[in-house]
Amino acid sequence: MSATPLLTVDGIGKSYGARIGCADVSFDLWPGEVMGIVGESGSGKSTLLGCLAGHLTPDTGHVIFDTTADGPRDVLAMSEPERRMLARTDWAFVHQNPRDGLRMGVSAGGNVGERLMAVGARHYGQIRDQATEWLGRVEINADRIDDKPRQFSGGMQQRLQIARNLVTGPRLVFMDEPTGGLDVSVQARLLDLLRGLVRRMGLSAVIVTHDLAVVRLLADRLVVMKDGRIVEQGLTDQVLDDPQHPYTQLLVSSVLQV
């Protein structure tokens, strides 16, 4: 483990008028580490993720990212072009609904290739080869490369979205409920795939979910949020097996044991 964290979140707060979205959230994310953020609906998970990924502007705090070129930099103080460049090279964002993350009118190959073309790839053959390779990695048949995402099932759309995001080799992936809206068997395959990719590519990830099984499988560390604040954080197994905060205890005990 290197000496600087990949991402340092320091006192992030965002309120919607008088209502608190999230408040005083701080944590470090180390290279190669997967951080899970759990909590009930409305606990500020998605607001926090939006603030980290630059989709929302937080009211307070800093998000410091260890950039390849210039070392640690405050993302919120970056200019818009720099942030966009970061968002299509070092970062990736997997939306809960693939419709938000994909271009539904563009073929699967075009979707995967978009990020490559956005960073300057101008060779059709190479773009297509890379798209084909990535479709293979997320278990989509190469002969579907020219089909539009709307002809895909929900699980395939989600896998396509992941391929589209990982094709430029990002170092940090934000995921917002990556398995939401999928049935359990598809969820299991997707998680398996994600775990493989994350481990093989040495990615760091921040995963927001309300599904404890997802974080149990993927996350190294866990943050539990309630009413916009962190109530407990620690190693995943430690938090899930020995919850300290009453809310975490409630959360863990609410999971149905089959």
Partner 1 sequence: MSDYNFAYLDEQTKRMIRRAILKGVAVPGYQVPFASREMPMPYGWGTGGVQVTAACLTPDDTLKVIDQGADDTTNAVSIRKFFERTAGVATSTHTAEATIIQTRHRIPEAALSDGQILVYQVPIPEPLRFLEPRETETRRMHALEDYGLMHVKLYEDIARNGAIATSYAYPVKVEGRYIMDPSPIPKFDNPKLSNTPALQLFGAGREQRIYAIPPFTQIVSLDFEDYPFEASKAPHACDLCADDTTYLDEVITDDHGGRMFVCSDTDHCETRRDAGYRGRLAPQEDAA
Of 20 and 56, the one with the shorter C-beta distance to partner 1 is 56
Q: Could you say which residues in the range 118-137 bind partner 1, by CB under 8 A?
A: 118-119, 122-125, 127-128
Provide the 3-class DSSP secondary structure of residue 159: helix
Q: Please tell me whether residue 164 binds partner 1 under the rule CB under 8 A.
A: no
CB neighbour list of residue 204: distance below 8 Å, 6 or more residues apart: 6, 7, 29, 30, 31, 32, 33, 34, 35, 171, 172, 173
Provide the 3-class DSSP secondary structure of residue 21: strand
Provide the 3-class DSSP secondary structure of residue 205: strand
Q: Please tell me whether residue 163 binds partner 1 under the rule CB under 8 A.
A: no
How many residues touch partner 1 (CB under 8 A)? Answer: 23
Structure tokens at 2: 């290197």
Stretch of 90-98, 117-125, 158-166, 235-243 lying at the interface with partner 1 (CB under 8 A): 117-125
Burial group, residue 92, by CB count within 10 angstroms (0-12, 13-18, 19+)? buried
d(CA 136, CA 132): 6
Q: Please tell me whether residue 192 binds partner 1 under the rule CB under 8 A.
A: no
Q: Please tell me whether residue 195 binds partner 1 under the rule CB under 8 A.
A: no
In angstroms, what is the minimal distance from the CB of 82 to partner 1? 10
Q: Please tell me whether residue 114 binds partner 1 under the rule CB under 8 A.
A: yes
d(CA 150, CA 130): 22
In angstroms, what is the minimal distance from the CB of 167 to partner 1? 12
Q: Please tell me whether residue 150 binds partner 1 under the rule CB under 8 A.
A: no
Contacting residue, 109, 155, 178, 243, with partner 1 by CB under 8 A: 109
Contacting residue, 106, 186, 197, 213, with partner 1 by CB under 8 A: 106
d(CA 94, CA 97): 9
Exposure string for 52-82, b = 16+ CB within 10 A, e = fewer? bbbebebeebebbbbbeeeeebebbebeeee
Q: Please tell me whether residue 143 binds partner 1 under the rule CB under 8 A.
A: no
Contacting residue, 100, 146, 183, 241, with partner 1 by CB under 8 A: 146
Q: Please tell me whether residue 104 binds partner 1 under the rule CB under 8 A.
A: no
Q: Please tell me whether residue 17 binds partner 1 under the rule CB under 8 A.
A: no
Contact 22, 227 (CB under 8 A): no
Stretch of 19-27, 62-70, 90-98, 113-121 lying at the interface with partner 1 (CB under 8 A): 113-121
The kind and range of the H/E element at 143 are none
Q: Please tell me whether residue 200 binds partner 1 under the rule CB under 8 A.
A: no
* Residues of the shown chain interacting with partner 1 in the complex, contacts defined by CB under 8 A: 80-81, 84, 88, 103, 106-107, 109-110, 113-115, 117-119, 122-125, 127-128, 145-146
